Amino acid sequence: MTRKRLIAGNWKMHGSFAESRQLVAALRDGVGAEDRALMLLCPPYVYLNAVRDWLQGSNIALGAQDLSDRSGTGAFTGEVSGAMLRDLGCTHVIVGHSERRALYDESDAVVASKFKAAQQAGLIPVLCVGETLEQREAGHTQATVQRQVAAVIDAAGVAAFGKAVIAYEPVWAIGTGRTATPEQAEEVHALIRAMIAERDATIASGLPILYGGSVKGANARSLFAMKDIDGGLVGGASLVATEFLEIFRAGI
C-alpha cells in the first residue's frame, strides 16, 4: 500500500502574530497543488483561528499541539476539547509529545485517553512515542516504544490506527542537535509497524509513521529514503520557511 507523505510542523510555544503570518505566506508559496506530500502546521492555540484563515485555498492542513482528554463541555478551566479544535478547522492533533509526557507528567493512560478523545471529535491523532537517552543507553528502546504503543492499542483497539499517525521521536535527539541515523530511526519505525502488523497487516501497511528527532533540510532526504519512514514531525526547523520547505520537498 502506498502511504502519502506527511510533513508536520510543530511550532511549540514560538512566534508572534506577525511572525506566524509571514511564515504561513512563505510556506503557501512553496506548496503546490500536485505535491505528493501533505504539509501540516500545528501552531499555538491562540493562533489557530488566524492560521486557518491564512491557509484558506491552500493544500496545507491545520493541526493542534494538544487537546483535553475530556469530551463535550464542562467545568475544565484552561482545557480545549477536540470538538473545539475541529470547529476551528483542525484535521489533526498531536498527542503524547515527549514534552507533554516529561514536563506535564502525562502517563501512557492519559495519552491513550487523549488519542481516543481526538478520534471521537473527528480528528486524526498524531501519537508521539520515543525513548530518553537513559532508556536508549540501558537498552530499553524497544520496550519503551512497545509499551507506549500498546497502551493505545489496549485502550482504543488496533482498528483505530486506520485513522491515525504515529511519530517516533527519540527524546535524546530533540533540540539537542543530535539525530538518529537513518538506520537507527528505521529500526524503530519497522518495530512499530511490525507491532501493528501482528494484529492487522492491512492497517499496518497504511499507517504513516513519522520521524521526529531534529529533522533538517540536510538530513531529511536520507531519513525519508528509509522504507518505514513516511515523513517528519519537525520542531525548530518548521519555524524557518526555507528550511521547512527543503524538508517538505525531500518528502515529495
CB atoms within 10 A of CB 27: 21
- Residue-level length of the chain: 252
Distance CA 90, CA 86 (A): 5
- CB-based contacts of 150: which residues, under 8 Å, 6+ apart? 195
Tell me if residue 187 is catalytic: no
Active-site residue, 97 included: yes
Q: State CA 34 to chain mean position distance.
A: 22
Q: Is 119 exposed, middle or buried (0-12, 13-18, 19+ CB in 10 A)?
A: middle
Dihedral (CA of 182, 185, 188, 193) sign: negative
Determine which one of 97, 131, 186, 243 is catalytic: 97
Q: What is the dihedral of CA 185, 188, 189, 190, to 10 degrees?
A: 120
Q: How far is the C-alpha of 246 from the C-alpha of 230, rounded, in Å? A: 16
Cα 32 to Cα 21, 37, 54, 70, 246: the distances in Å are 19, 10, 16, 37, 14
Q: Is 189 exposed, middle or buried (0-12, 13-18, 19+ CB in 10 A)?
A: buried
Candidates 99, 169, 186, 243; catalytic one: 169
Q: Which three cell numbers stand for residue 212?
A: 521526529
Q: Which residues are catalytic?
A: 97, 169
